[in-house]
Amino acid sequence: MPLDTTETDFERDVVERSKQVPVVVDFWAEWCGPCRQLGPALEAAESKRGGDVVLAKVDVDSNQALAARFGVQGIPAVKAFRDGKIVDEFVGAVPPAKVEAFFDGLAPSRADQLLAAGDELSLREASELEPRRADIALALARARLARGAEAEALEAIQGFPDDFAAAGIAARVRLVAAGVAPQAWSALDGGNRTAALDTLLESLSQNGDAAGEMDPTERRDLIRKAIIGVLADLDPADPTAREYRRKLSAAL
């Protein structure tokens, strides 16, 4: 059922709620014929998605400040919010098929749901559904690494040679096989990213590992790629990312 919201409750009902689930806002009025035509299609689209998208309604006559705030000049005006921001919108009584397409663009896909589940079986199914999605491939590769299936991890990312995180995983597999920096991988798998990065940087400055016979130039390049791969998971503005990019640059 749609939620009637007002100027008083809009921040809570729409802006904040959209940080958990997409919210579609219907700016309408009782006297508006096209609004009454569009309303049932919006409600049907919300109902089909089982809570994956929320529908809120704003009566523009009673909430003129809200209408002005969001630049509503004609109604019905429909605006979709995600993460507190407008991500899509349209004006007018569009056909039900277009309403469905609009909602489809907001609701999580089956692949998104499987990615959120996070287990290897779900990730494999997600990869089959959307084989060109790097985020799914990387999650699957990491799940396989967690159980020591390095060859299967490489298989998951083989279609993404230009992805820094994928290249980092490929480099890790080769370094593990050569016995390079084993403490780094244990730290990384344990969630201690900084310890892993410190160990890799220390290994970068060493001539080699006692257990390894890898060419020094190749070894340094693989460690560099592994570090970059770890940093690729961080926001570029993250202080840790900035710090370790500086350290890597100095080490090279």
CB neighbours of residue 235 within 10 Å: 9
Q: Which of 23, 35, 45, 138 is catalytic?
A: 35
Distances, alpha carbon 56 to alpha carbons 28, 80, 178, in Å: 11, 10, 57
Q: Which of 14, 23, 25, 32 is catalytic?
A: 32
Q: Can you tell me the distance from the alpha carbon of 215 to that of 235, in angstroms, rounded to the nearest whole number?
A: 32
Q: Is 35 a catalytic residue?
A: yes
Task: Return the structure tokens found at 105.
Answer: 């663009």
| Residue 251 and residue 201 in contact, taking contact as beta carbons nearer than 8 Å | yes
Residues 6+ apart with CB under 8 A from 229: 164, 165, 166, 167, 168, 169, 171, 172
SS3 string, 15-28, reads HHHHHCCCEEEEEE
Task: Return the structure tokens found at 243.
Answer: 């710090």
Phi, psi at residue 102, to the nearest 5°?
-60, -45
Q: Can you tell me the distance from the alpha carbon of 158 to that of 141, in angstroms, rounded to the nearest whole number?
A: 10
- Residues recognised as catalytic: 32, 35
